[in-house]
Structure 1
Amino acid sequence: MKAYVIQNGTYQLVDIPEQQPKGRQVLVQLKTAGLNHRDLNIKDRVGNKAERFVLGSDGAGVIEKAGDEASRFEIGEEVIINPGLNWYDNTEAPPEDFEIVGVPFDGTFAKKILISEDFVERKPTHLSWEEAGVFALSALTGYRALFTQGILKEGETLFIPGVGGGVTSFIIQMAKAVGARVITTSRDSDKLKHAEKLGYDRAILTNEDWKIALADEQIDIVIESIGGATFNRSIDVLKKGGRIVTFGSSTNDEFTFNLRSFFYGQYKLIGSTMGSREELHELMQFIEKHNIKPLLDKGFPLDNIETAFTYLESQKQVGKIYIHM
């Protein structure tokens, strides 16, 4: 079967043998899969290993076969992949054996995926195949950052730099669903216009002076994923005693900030990453209750996945990029 892999330091579309489920494994025939920025960074993690890894962390499809000990699903059921492996309960941090689908375990950029039934969930009925295939990693990351770690409350003001990404798109929708005020940014005014459908309350350009532009705002919480390029600017607009949650760093991982200003401001800095299966179950109930869907950008066939990667790297997208099998 066709699969997009990394091997010997290069991304390749190749034919690989189909595996058969054993024990509590299921074989899912994938309909769609979603791209994430994680996929762009796998090469740095894997290096030039001769071992072959199938890329991709998000996907949706149909149960085709099941091992002799698998019992959660019937053949033919529509499902999504839970990309967070071995993290069952909502704990303060992931367990030591936590991994994400798609390196070091085979991922979703293939016609089929073999995976434990523990990390498969029934497809939300209000999502299309395209929406379901891009849903889990971004939405779960956003849900934990916003509610488990950030503890966003109705009536609070959230500032989230960098509209357009999958996680930020979910965070904006979820924050609005609980009655928060949402402010966002982009380098591109066209992106802001296109993202208005997410329902944010206010937007400013990245190159504006945020302290001046937001001087009339009381920002209770910032959710950061850009890193060194914006972290200090985000603290500058956060109210005294406010909280800043970070779940990623698309720019510099390492930078400096003024510790004295930080502790005098009584700020709270909170880390977050992905989420547990327990939180995924909460999230699925939440999005169905509030009819929340991922914002889609473009789809590409598996045979043209390299073009999809180039488009993802350009950062021109507003919403999720997906692959159809």
Structure 2
Amino acid sequence: MKAVVLNRSVTNQLEIKEVEKPKVGVGEVLVQVKAGALNHRDEWCRQGLYPNLKDGVILGSDGAGLVVALGEGLDASWLEKEVIINPSLNWGSDERVQVKEYKILGMPDNGTLAEYIGIKADRLQAKPAHMSWEEAAALPLGGLTAYRALMVQGRLQKDEKVLVTGFGGGVAQFAVQFALAAGAEVYVSSSSEEKRQKALALGVKAAFDYTNETWVKEAVGLCGGFDLIIDSAVGDTFNNLIKVANPGARIVFYGATKGNPTGFDARKVFWNQLQIIGSTMGSDQDFEAMLAFVNQHQIKPVIDQVFSLDEAVKAFDRMKAGSQMGKIVLKS
């Protein structure tokens, strides 16, 4: 079968090559992958920026496909099921936090950017019927991360004012769509005029250019402040989020692409009773709740561009450039 494999000794650090089709063990199924999608972690693996990297591993956390073979112990009703893959592995029994052994599909375990994947049946859920293969493949990692940040850690309530920073990437896109569906008043920030316009077309109230020094004043003047802020950057922009947070607000961050802040306005945090909350992908319970929410509201991911497996380098380069609006998908 054809697969996209990490190989840091070759140009572009990727190989699109023929590898052996997986053999399924007890409790496992063979899924014919109809489509997979990229996440930033895939590009970080290519750049050598992710921990515990191993050459020869098939990349990809997101995928959807058709069950074509069963391992021992599984009912025949699994065959020919259209499924979506939960990339969260070994969360553990505590809903509050993952265990030390927690992993994400695609590194160090073989992932979804291949024609087939062998995987435990408990990682599969029914593909949302209202989605295409490409849309379903785009949902898992970003959708799960956004749902936990927004609904579980952020405890979003209807009519609250929500700011989602860095709109354009997969998680931020889902956070906006989920918050709108939940009845929140949603705002975004982005340095891209094109992405700000896209957000407005989705139904957000306003979109701010965070590179403009006046955006904090503009935001406070427009809506007074935010009850919930979803962020993935942190860095030196974090104090601006503290400035636009309403008293009692929650600031949830699921990444720190800009690193740690060099300054921290601790006085404003304690005086305004702010809550600063970390978040990761999510548990199996979160994944099931996310799918139920998506099905209830008939939410569809925004797809940026679809490539073939043979065009994987082009797809990864687009991810690296950061110009995408929505999810980048590889079709098997």
State whether structure 2 residue 218 is matched by structure 1 residue 213.
Answer: yes
State whether structure 2 residue 39 is matched by structure 1 residue 32.
Answer: no
Shift of 1:68: 1.2
Shift of 1:250: 2.2
CA distance 1:299–1:229, change in 2 (3 Å): farther
TM-score, normalisation: structure 1:
0.95
Shift of 1:47: 7.1
CA distance 1:75–1:204, change in 2 (3 Å): same
Residue 245 of structure 1 corresponds to which residue in structure 2? Answer: 252
The code of the aligned residue for 1:32 comes to A
Q: Does the CA-based 8 Å contact 2:319-2:328 persist in structure 1?
A: yes
Q: How do 1:43-62 residues align onto structure 2 when only pairs under 5 Å count?
A: 43-45=48-50, 49=54, 51-62=55-66
The code of the aligned residue for 1:81 comes to I
Shift of 1:14: 1.8
Shift of 1:90: 6.5
Q: Does the CA-based 8 Å contact 1:90-1:277 persist in structure 2?
A: no
Q: CA RMSD in A?
A: 1.7
Match of 2:126 among 122, 147, 150: 122
Q: Does the CA-based 8 Å contact 2:7-2:14 persist in structure 1?
A: yes
In structure 2, distance between residues paired with 1:197 and 1:6: 37
Residue 147 of structure 1 corresponds to which residue in structure 2? Answer: 151
Residue 257 of structure 1 corresponds to which residue in structure 2? Answer: 264
Shift of 1:194: 2.6
Q: Does the CA-based 8 Å contact 1:34-1:58 persist in structure 2?
A: yes
Shift of 1:244: 0.3
Shift of 1:11: 2.1
Shift of 1:16: 1.1
The code of the aligned residue for 1:2 comes to K
Shift of 1:71: 3.1
Shift of 1:196: 2.9
Q: Which runs of 5+ in 1 are unaligned?
A: none
Q: Does the CA-based 8 Å contact 1:195-1:318 persist in structure 2?
A: no
Residue 227 of structure 1 corresponds to which residue in structure 2? Answer: 234
Q: Does the CA-based 8 Å contact 2:30-2:69 persist in structure 1?
A: yes
Which secondary structure state, in structure 2, belongs to the residue aligned with residue 60 of structure 1? strand
Residue 140 of structure 2 corresponds to which residue in structure 1? Answer: 136
Q: Does the CA-based 8 Å contact 1:88-1:278 persist in structure 2?
A: no
State whether structure 2 residue 194 is matched by structure 1 residue 190.
Answer: yes
In structure 2, distance between residues paired with 1:254 and 1:112: 42
TM-score, normalisation: structure 2:
0.93
Shift of 1:263: 1.7
Deviations 1:65-88 (A, max 9, x none): 110112385211110110101226
The code of the aligned residue for 1:44 comes to L
